Amino acid sequence: MKLHEYQAKELFGRYDLPVPEGQVAETEEDGLRIAEKLGCPVAVKAQVHAGGRGKAGGVRLARSQEEAREAVQTILGMTLQTAQTGGQGKIVRKILLEKGVDIEHEYYLSILPDRATASLMIIGSTEGGMNIEEVAATTPEKIIRVRVNPLTGLQPFHLRRMAFGLGLTGDPFKKFCVLLSNLYRAVTENDLLLAEINPLARTSDGAFVLLDAKAEVDSSALFRHKDLAALHDSGEEDPLEAEAKKYGLNYIRLDGTIGNMVNGAGLAMATMDMIKQAGAEPANFLDVGGGADAEMIENGFRILLSDPKVEAILINIFGGILRCDVLATGVVEAARKIGLSLPVVVRMEGTNVEEGRKILADSGLDLISATDLQDAAEKIGKIATAAAAH
């Protein structure tokens, strides 16, 4: 689960990490009041779950109250499009206003799991404020990596290695070591999958300030962190993904036109591969799970039909705990309630498959039956080709 910048800074502030004085606004009136209270220069920053906000016009530095007014009016309510927001972009419903900071140098700092080595990776660079992927590609020598064994934890030599790598000495060296130690504690105590500070600013007096902050909490650990779970912003989710979550469905929206419903993540991946090999593109990943009932199937089918980009649906179920007759009942009930205006190809095998096929056949609905996955993919491919021709 991703946190907004202001939420991440509130969390990091509990660990004595230095963040700028600031406040969140959801209306133009509040934004202008906060800007006047903080005084100029003031940074006005869009609060959406995406990087690259500055390049897209979502972050502005105002050096006067007039500039602050213009920034607040422009950013609040805008549709922000970055490389991470997708084609539709995201509407800015909140802005963070922060007091300006006198910056002497900017660094990059992050902590995240390194699954290849089962360690926590600390990444630092003297090139803060830049796209870190670009820095790694063009000047890899400017990226410092320090791996920490989570069983033994952060040690003083880890702190020294990163601080020396960033070229720090004297008082800034000591302050940075304290900062990194506190950041590591914030990561481990809150089950964070990512803590990123970009940029981490060093001021003229040698102090450090977190100018930006990203944090992502492991969703599987939210039961341990009720306070963080309460920070979830459903407005940042795709509406269909949020709807699916309410019914315990694993749904991810994609860019294609073929909606698909399966039971099992592995089967979902194989089904999407078969759709692509047939010359079509999947519109979603929808795994109803092994223990789905007729109601879950009905809700999943309704969500697929709710996507305006979907031109056809492929249902691919291997009946085990989820029996084929249960699947068929859910599909028939959903189609009758909502109406069936799209071609639907159904392939099912496993427990009670004959009963399931009979339910579909007796429904009177125009459903296309497939004998196996290859047959289903070929049929969905022909449907997609015909749709593209029109």
Question: Please, how many CA atoms are within 13 Å of residue 238, restricted to the half-sphere of its CB?
Answer: 18
DSSP string, 83-103: TTT-TT-EE---EEEEE---E
Known binding residue 98? Answer is yes
- 101 labeled binding residue: yes
Q: At what angle do helices 239-246 and 294-306 cross, to 10 degrees?
A: 170
Say if residue 238 carries a ligand binding annotation.
no
168 is in an annotated binding site: no
Q: What value does the CA radius of gyration of the chain take, rounded to a whole number of Å?
A: 26
Which strand (E) or helix (H) includes residue 346? strand 344-350
φ, ψ of residue 264 to 5 degrees: the values are 125, 130
Question: 54: annotated binding-site residue?
Answer: yes
Q: Known binder of ligand: residue 355?
A: no
The whole-angstrom separation of Cα 84 and Cα 78 is 16
Q: Which residues are catalytic?
A: 108, 196
Helix segments in the chain, DSSP class H: 5-13, 28-38, 65-75, 132-138, 156-165, 170-189, 226-229, 239-246, 265-277, 294-306, 324-338, 353-362, 373-389
45 is in an annotated binding site: yes
> Is 89 marked within a binding site?
no
Pairing label, strands 95-99, 22-25: antiparallel
- Say whether 322 counts as a known binding-site residue: yes
Is 212 marked within a binding site?
yes
Q: Answer yes or no: is 198 a known binding residue.
A: yes
Binding-site positions for Mg(2+): 198, 212
Binding-site positions for substrate: 263, 320-322
Binding-site positions: 45, 52-54, 98, 101, 106, 198, 212, 263, 320-322
Binding-site positions for ATP: 45, 52-54, 98, 101, 106
